[in-house]
Amino acid sequence: MEDCVGNCNGFQILCESGLLPGALMRNAGLKYVCKPVQVRVEKRCHSLYKACSQGEVLTIPIGHMEGKLFLRRRNIG
């Protein structure tokens, strides 16, 4: 598979179509969540992250109802 980026509904489609492992589940409390979150750049292996430093912490906005990703242990790596 070529590199692709899926955010928001695009990420949901990639999971539900089986192109990415795992499943999206409803958030705890069954509430819509909209807030800024911090993510850390672990690897700079994609051109999207060329401007970032490894270990850099980015603050990005999120807004979703099904934002909990479930993965089996064998798919984490």
pLDDT digits (tens, 9 = 90+) for 1-48: 566 677 777 788 888 888 888 888 887 777 888 889 998 988 877 777
**pTM, 2 dp:** 0.54
Instruction: Give the pLDDT confidence score for residue 59 in this predicted structure.
Output: 92
Instruction: Give the pLDDT confidence score for residue 3 in this predicted structure.
Output: 67
Burial environment of residue 72 by CB neighbours within 10 A (0 to 12, 13 to 18, 19 or more):
exposed
Reading the block at residue 64, the tokens are 């979703």
